[in-house]
Amino acid sequence: EARDVSKHFTVRGPLGRTSVVRAVEDATVRLRPGQILALVGESGSGKTTLARMLARFHEPTQGEILLRGEPVTGSRRAQRAYHSEVQLIFQDPFGALNPLHRVRYNLDRALRLHQPHLTAAGREQRMTELLERVSLTPAAEFAAKFPHELSGGQRQRVVIARALAVEPKVLLGDEPISMLDVSIRLEMLNLLQRLRTEDGLALLYITHDIAGARYLCDEIAVMYAGQMVESGPKEEVISSPQHPYTKLLIESSPDPERGVGDRDELFAGADELGEPPSLIDPPTGCRFHPRCPFAMPECATEAPPRTELGDGHWATCWLHVKGRAGELAETTHAA
């Protein structure tokens, strides 16, 4: 769980002036065992920074990260224990593996580190199981390959096998399929789904692809300009979005009924909304107000409160406070 976490970065400009980038502001995410939660948003919405805080690669500026309700401390021992339960899968399978070493070495290293009780023979057997688990068979053949001898999809499978070597309870997937060929994205989504079903893994699936999120996930959380703006069960969020940004994101995405992975534009829907605002000097009030077709005067000055809508569905928008939420369902906007 990330509870009310914020992350601010200080950056230095060309003339030596420093600025603060408010990458994430007061975000809360909770993942239950066996749950798949999609964190959806455009590039620059803060979702990767939030994942990196959850992976303990960034320390939150405010707020805390908890595992089973207990805050995770910064001690080396606590970090190692945390990483034996929570693993991050990066977007880029090309950079995630050491190119100088064979798959065998990449997996064996993780096993040595996190499963020190295993003998050499035990590690070899585990490695075979892991490679078979991610459908890289014959395992011995793939174990002997260098990363450059593998396709993008095969490399990402090795990355997933390496994460599984740790026997984690939680996987944080930061756009894990976005750099893969369209033809194998569906296969990868099915693999992630299988890991949840068979191992009870919890997965935070970070994406800007609503169709993929709908295919894979139980719940969807939407981020805009560093803030969470809506969260809830996926069918509710997709069929009845309660924040104008979610609504525009869905309307600008290709129809999910056409399937996952069948078009390149599947991942382009969010881009049609234009650039998100700067996080150095974000808009006051509701950060979406400069682009919101429903904006009211108060939207520019006061941040909207969170409105609980039942069944774990909530949104932060003045329309709910002002009794105007019905307008969302009545209006369709071309993005």
**Contact of 54 with 3, CB cutoff 8 Å:** no
Of 259 and 293, which CB lies nearer to ligand SF4 in the complex structure? 293
E strand segments, 215-300:
219-224, 227-233
Of 78 and 335, which CB lies nearer to ligand SF4 in the complex structure? 335
Nearest approach in angstroms of CB 85 to ligand SF4 is 36
Of 159 and 315, which CB lies nearer to ligand SF4 in the complex structure? 315
User: Side chain identity at 263, as an amino acid letter?
Assistant: R
Nearest approach in angstroms of CB 57 to ligand SF4 is 31
Nearest approach in angstroms of CB 68 to ligand SF4 is 34
Q: What is the C-alpha to C-alpha distance for residues 85 and 100, in angstroms, rounded to an integer?
A: 27
Largest CA distance in the chain: 68
Of 215 and 245, which CB lies nearer to ligand SF4 in the complex structure? 245
Tokens representing 278? 């700067």
* DSSP 3-state of 129: helix
User: Side chain identity at 183, as an amino acid letter?
Assistant: S
Contacts with ligand SF4 by CB under 6 A lie at 243-244, 286, 288-289, 292, 294-296, 299, 304, 317-319
Q: What is the C-alpha to C-alpha distance for residues 33 and 278, in angstroms, rounded to an integer?
A: 35
Of 104 and 313, which CB lies nearer to ligand SF4 in the complex structure? 313
Nearest approach in angstroms of CB 236 to ligand SF4 is 18
Instruction: Look at residues 57, 45, 54, 56 and name the one whose alpha carbon lies nearest to residue 21.
Output: 45
Nearest approach in angstroms of CB 284 to ligand SF4 is 11
**Contact of 247 with 205, CB cutoff 8 Å:** no
